[in-house]
């Protein structure tokens, strides 16, 4: 596993964990919302769950930067799965019904790092293959989810485009124009997802890396540095396909390495 690729994955996971810890600590997470509003538990219990989640995320961040631990990564993946399911079951945004798809790359990045936590696990071919599949599927699903949102002309996506254009160019982008662009972007995202899953072309992963990073950063380019956590949370959208690109063909070979008898 190339060092650059592994570090890309580790930094992506660390970024995810940092932003998620912040979300659990400051406004409260989707798990908090589900426990308090849907399950009817007390605010104290819901807040305690957030404290546990924040602690897990801090552990994941430290582990990802210093020495990846399988236990920490699996715990982190479980937390992100919980967040996605909480959003799906107790939607607070129009697109939350897509949360398990749109957030897939966050879960898969943690699973991949769990599988590649150390040299011993990296040396097992099936771990490399499994990690590759996790990143491929996670990236494709996330691009699918975002593509569907883009085709639906999601209000927040429109605002990201209008906000970025205004902040950086003084151009007042009309909503209709932004929506037309989103249609193209949505089709692109779906196409890329399909190609990554079916064709496994390296350049597709490369383009997805660039696009994922650009869209992650669009939170800051549109709304300013106060929204840093939203960008950091989404760095894996580019980091996961970048890992694939840098680790090609170790992670994404079309034919898996045969297992030893």
Partner 1 sequence: MITVALMLLGACALDDPWTRLEGTQPAQWRLVWTTSPAHEVTVSWTTLEAGTSHKVHVRPRPGSQGLESTSVPSGQGERRAREVMAHRSGAYTLSPTEVEKEAGAFYHHARVTGLQASSAYWLQIESDGRLSPELHFLTAPAEDRPFKMVHGGDSRTGISERQEMNRFIGRLADEHPELISFAHGGDYIANGRLWGHWRLWLSQNEWTTSPSGRVLPMIPTRGNHEPGPIFDEVFDDPGGAGLNYFSTDLTPQVSLITLNTEISAAGDQAVWLERELQRLRPQRRWLLSQYHRALYPAVKDPASAKLHWVPLFEEHNVDLVLESDGHSVKRTVPIRAEKVDPSGVIYIGEGGLGVPQRTPKSDRWFLQEPGMSGKSHHVVLLEFGPAGLDSRILAPPAVSSPIFRPEEQPLALAPDAPWRFLAGADPAGASWREVGFDDSSWAQGTGGFGYGDDDDVTVLDTMRGEYSRLYLRALVDPAALASLEEVQLAIRYDDAFIAFLGGVEVARAGVATGHGATAEGLSSHEATRWELFSLGSGAQLAERLGPGPAVLALEGHNHTSASSDFTLHPCLVGPSRVRAVAMDGPVVLDEFRLTPRDER
Alpha-helical segments (H) within the chain? 3-25, 30-33, 43-66, 70-89, 99-102, 104-115, 119-123, 125-151, 155-169, 175-198, 202-223, 228-233, 236-247
| Closer Cβ to partner 1, 41 or 124, answer by number | 41
Tally Cβ neighbours within 10 Å of residue 114: 24
Q: How far is the CB of 104 from partner 1 (least distance, A)?
A: 21
Residue 248 Cα distances to 165, 180, 228, 240, angstroms: 35, 34, 30, 12
Rg, C-alpha atoms of the chain: 18
- What residues line the site for partner 1 (CB under 8 A)? 26-28, 36-38, 40-45, 90-94, 155-156, 158-159, 162-163, 166, 174-175, 178, 222-224
* CA 127, chain centre distance (Å): 20
Find the Cα–Cα–Cα–Cα dihedral 162, 215, 201, 103, rounded to 10°: -120
| Closer Cβ to partner 1, 22 or 200, answer by number | 22
| Closer Cβ to partner 1, 57 or 162, answer by number | 162
Q: How far is the CB of 175 from partner 1 (least distance, A)?
A: 3
| Closer Cβ to partner 1, 165 or 252, answer by number | 165
Six-digit token string for 18: 């940092």
Q: How far is the CB of 230 from partner 1 (least distance, A)?
A: 9
If you count them, how many residues does the chain have? 261
Q: How far is the CB of 257 from partner 1 (least distance, A)?
A: 43
Q: How far is the CB of 64 from partner 1 (least distance, A)?
A: 25
End-to-end Cα distance, the chain: 23
Q: How far is the CB of 72 from partner 1 (least distance, A)?
A: 27
Question: Degrees (nearest 5) of the Cα angle 32, 212, 146?
Answer: 60
| Closer Cβ to partner 1, 70 or 167, answer by number | 167
| Closer Cβ to partner 1, 167 or 200, answer by number | 167
């Amino acid at each position: 596993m190339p060092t650059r690729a592994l570090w890309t994955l580790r930094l992506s996971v660390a970024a995810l964990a940092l932003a998620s810890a912040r979300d659990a600590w400051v406004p409260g997470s989707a798990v908090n919302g589900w426990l308090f509003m849907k399950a009817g538990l007390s605010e104290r219990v819901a807040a305690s769950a957030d404290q546990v989640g924040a602690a897990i995320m801090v552990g994941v961040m430290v582990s990802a930067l210093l020495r990846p631990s399988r236990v920490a990564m699996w715990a982190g993946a479980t937390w992100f799965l919980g967040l996605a399911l909480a959003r799906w079951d107790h939607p607070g945004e129009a697109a939350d019904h897509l949360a398990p798809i749109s957030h897939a790359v966050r879960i898969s990045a943690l699973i991949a790092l769990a599988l590649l936590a150390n040299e011993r696990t990296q040396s097992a071919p099936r771990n490399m293959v499994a990690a590759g599949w996790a990143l491929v599927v996670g990236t494709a699903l996330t691009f699918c989810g975002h593509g569907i949102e883009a085709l639906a002309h999601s209000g927040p996506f429109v605002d990201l485009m209008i906000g970025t254009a205004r902040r950086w160019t003084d151009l007042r982008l009309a909503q209709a124009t932004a929506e037309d662009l989103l249609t193209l972007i949505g089709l692109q995202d779906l196409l890329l997802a399909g190609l990554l899953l079916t064709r496994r072309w390296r350049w597709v992963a490369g383009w997805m890396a660039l696009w994922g990073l650009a869209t992650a950063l669009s939170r800051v380019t549109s709304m300013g540095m106060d929204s840093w956590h939203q960008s950091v949370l989404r760095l894996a959208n580019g980091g996961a396909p970048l890992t694939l690109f840098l680790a090609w063909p170790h992670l994404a070979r079309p034919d898996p390495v045969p297992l030893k008898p």
